[in-house]
Chain A
Amino acid sequence: MSPHAMPHAEDFRAGQALGVDHRKLGMWLFIASEVMFFGGLIAAYLHYKYSLGFPEIELLNVVQVGVNTLILLSSSLTVVSALAALQAGRPGRMALFLVLTIVLGVAFLSGQAYEFASLYREGVTLTSGVFGSSFFTLTGFHGLHVAIGVVWAIVVLLGGLRGAYTAERSMGVEIFGLYWHFVDIVWIMLFTLIYLIP
């Protein structure tokens, strides 16, 4: 029985002619589905924010979360710098930037954990009411995506240390980067919608 073969580079001729890489396109399509997923959660949050009102918003610490936002934004800088370093033929520098990314990602998650804990101390929990349910579900799923990103970053870092990526073979790192930046963009929107907009 002739074994069924995985697609080769020439199978993607049509994409190459267009200038579209199939793995990159696959990731962007996945991102599109994630846009809609977070959209559903955001729609639920906003629906209740404007029909019931969320007095608990008073308890949110905008400055602390603002700092956390800057942490996540800087992690996007380190991710894109990692890719640039790889494409400049400097895998060692890439590894350094990935380590920074992981540190910043963990810092962001710690900041979230700290915020969640202080809200819990005030009696605002996942099950305390509509605000608690909406807030923790929305930010919780975002945090879950960051956590997955951190694990993925570790995998990419290990791959990089093994020499799996080169300047010509950088798509794996680029695709990871797309995911990470998207998670950052989601947070940019959540920060505004939850913490800033009245």
Chain B
Amino acid sequence: MTQQTVKFGIQLPVDMGQDVAEVARELSENCQVSYRLPEPDSESAKDELSFDPISGAAIGWILLKVVGAAAQGIAAKLIIELVCKRYMGRSKESKVVPIRFSDGTIFELNTDDPESTEQLRKILAEKADR
């Protein structure tokens, strides 16, 4: 089977690092999953972090890379688990979460809209490097 690489970023609260690590571990059985969390103290942080106006919590781009034959499917699973289950599991979270790709494309995933999830799958297929 063809080896694929899918790279993307999800804009999430920075304190979800633990969740990212867990989900990456759970889904890395047939694929290689790596991630990079935003570093609040880094030089680029001022451009990459925003803050929740009520709680002051930091929001940043969490980068994920999936390599393997089933990379597209695993990437979709990663997003659904992280965004739709873990993130949305927290109270009052926004229903729209931006997903970013290495060519600059940004897709706003609306977790309430099944068409939006379908659209995301198509974009993941387009962005996968073979």
A and B interact:
no
